[in-house]
């Protein structure tokens, strides 16, 4: 009886990972974040796209490795494109912790669960970002969300509610896209690096369809925001 129970238990993933994986993955993730952020800035998209690498590392290596990627991303990008990005490192770190811990707790075993994690990340990142926006930058940093903030202010909302409302919408689109793009990247990583991670399981084309559907939902939210704004 006991031996059958032991046999039924899935093999526990080795918690230690080779240092070479970390050395290879962390700089690439930082570069991915910076490139994503720059593309977003140049194209003036209603997203951020600077947390895809953070999500990949937080899920694959662990939440605190993701936090390292998040902090490094904002440090490096603040040297490249100005000091505004540095205070938002806290948002990147919070996102990494939520992605990393929730996947380790098994919340992301299904596609719906994984989508919920992305929404949770969007909520907590916005919660972290709003005080930074309001108390440091006075509610505006030159991002697409500022126009929405102005619209909410014009409707008679106060500054904190307006900044949170605009930021949560942008963040929702961004984190859903980032989460599912990260899932696609994780699928492409070597199997020995991703074995044992509790991510949605699906055979064949099903997984591609789910990932594509997740990205489409995120893009649709972004497009709706752009349409409303115009």
Partner 1 sequence: MQKKNVEKKEVTVGAKEGIGSGIIGLGVLLVLLPSFSQKISDLDFINSDAFGILAGAAMVMGILVGVAGLAVILSKFDDES
What is the contact surface with partner 1 in residues (CB under 8 A)? Answer: 14-20, 22, 61-65, 67-68, 70-72, 74-75, 78, 83-84, 86-87, 89-90, 93-94, 97, 128, 131-132, 135-138, 140
In the block, which residue shows the tokens 């990008």? Answer: 77
**Shortest reach from residue 205's CB to partner 1, in Å:** 34
DSSP annotation of 86 reads G
Pick 83 or 190: Cβ nearer partner 1: 83
**Shortest reach from residue 15's CB to partner 1, in Å:** 4
**216, 218, 182, 227: which is closest to 200 by C-alpha?**
182
Pick 38 or 141: Cβ nearer partner 1: 141
**Shortest reach from residue 78's CB to partner 1, in Å:** 6
Phi-psi category of residue 91: left, alpha or beta, with phi > 0 → left and psi -120 to 50 → alpha = alpha
Q: Biggest alpha carbon distance in the chain?
A: 68
Pick 124 or 226: Cβ nearer partner 1: 124
For residues 78 and 88, the answer to whether their CB atoms sit within 8 Å is no
**Shortest reach from residue 91's CB to partner 1, in Å:** 9
Both tokens of 136, joined, read 């440091």
Separation between Cα atoms, residue 171 and residue 14, nearest integer Å: 34
Pick 74 or 178: Cβ nearer partner 1: 74
For residues 196 and 209, the answer to whether their CB atoms sit within 8 Å is no
**Shortest reach from residue 82's CB to partner 1, in Å:** 8
Pick 124 or 207: Cβ nearer partner 1: 124
């Amino acid at each position: 009886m006991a031996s059958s129970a032991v046999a039924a238990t899935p093999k526990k993933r080795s918690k230690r990972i080779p240092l070479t994986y970390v050395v290879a993955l962390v700089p690439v993730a930082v570069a991915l974040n910076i490139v994503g952020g720059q593309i977003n800035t140049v194209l003036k998209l209603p997203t951020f796209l600077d947390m895809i690498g953070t999500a990949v590392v937080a899920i694959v290596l662990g939440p605190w490795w993701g936090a390292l990627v998040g902090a490094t991303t904002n440090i490096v990008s603040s040297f490249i494109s100005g000091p505004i990005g540095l205070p938002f490192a806290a948002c990147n770190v919070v996102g990494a912790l939520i992605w990393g811990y929730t996947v380790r707790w098994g919340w992301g075993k299904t596609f719906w669960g994984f989508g919920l994690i992305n929404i949770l990340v969007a909520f907590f990142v916005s919660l972290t970002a709003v005080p930074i926006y309001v108390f440091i930058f006075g509610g505006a940093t030159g991002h697409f969300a500022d126009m929405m903030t102005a619209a909410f202010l014009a409707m008679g909302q106060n500054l904190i509610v307006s900044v949170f409302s605009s930021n949560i919408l942008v963040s929702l689109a961004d984190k859903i896209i980032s989460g599912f793009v990260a899932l696609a990247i994780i699928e492409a990583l070597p199997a020995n690096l991703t074995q044992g991670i509790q991510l949605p399981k699906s055979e064949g084309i099903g997984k591609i369809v789910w990932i594509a559907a997740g990205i489409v939902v995120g893009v649709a939210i972004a497009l709706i925001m752009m349409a409303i704004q115009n």
